C-alpha cells in the first residue's frame, strides 16, 4: 500500500499544493472540521461513488486515525485508482495545521 507521512502531507497542504483529498470519515466526524477542498465520501459509500473519481488523478485518503483510509486506499488501488493513505489521520493532521 502507498502511504504518505503526516509531516509530508501537512507540508503539501501548508504550501498550498493542489491536492485531491478524500475524507472517508462519517458525517458526524466531519462536522468537527474538514480539510479545505476535501471531498467527503464516507468509507461505506466509496464503492457506489467511485464513478465520481478520475483514474488519472492521484487521491490522498484521510480519516480519523488512518485505519479506514488504509482500507479505502487498498480498495481504490485494487480498482485501478491512484490513491495514497495519509498516515496519522485527522487526529494528527489537525493539530499540526493549527501550529
Give the domain CATH number at 25. 3.40.250.10
Residue 20 has a pLDDT of: 98
**Cell numbers at residue 90, please?**
485527522
What's the domain range around 69? 3-97
- Provide the sign of the torsion angle of the four alpha carbons 14, 15, 18, 20, taken in this order: negative
Q: Say which of 63, 76, 86, 92 is annotated catalytic.
A: 63
**Active site (annotated) includes residue 63:** yes
Beta bridge partners of 21: 60
- The H or E element containing residue 60 is strand 58-62
Give me the phi and psi of 52, to 5 degrees please: -80, -10
Residue 99 has a pLDDT of: 72
Query: Per residue of the chain (99 residues), what is the pLDDT tens digit?
Result: 899 999 999 999 999 999 999 999 999 999 989 999 999 999 999 999 999 999 999 999 999 999 999 999 999 999 999 999 999 999 999 999 887
User: What's the structural domain count of the chain?
Assistant: 1
Amino acid at each position: 500500500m502507498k502511504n504518505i507521512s503526516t509531516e509530508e502531507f501537512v507540508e503539501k497542504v501548508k504550501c498550498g499544493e493542489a491536492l485531491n483529498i478524500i475524507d472517508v470519515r462519517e458525517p458526524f466526524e466531519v462536522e468537527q472540521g474538514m480539510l479545505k477542498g476535501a471531498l467527503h465520501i464516507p468509507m461505506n459509500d466509496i464503492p457506489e461513488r467511485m464513478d465520481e473519481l478520475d483514474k488519472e488523478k492521484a487521491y490522498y485518503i484521510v480519516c480519523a486515525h488512518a485505519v479506514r483510509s488504509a482500507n479505502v486506499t487498498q480498495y481504490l488501488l485494487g480498482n485501478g485508482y491512484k490513491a495514497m493513505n495519509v498516515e496519522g489521520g485527522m487526529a494528527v493532521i489537525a493539530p499540526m495545521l493549527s501550529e
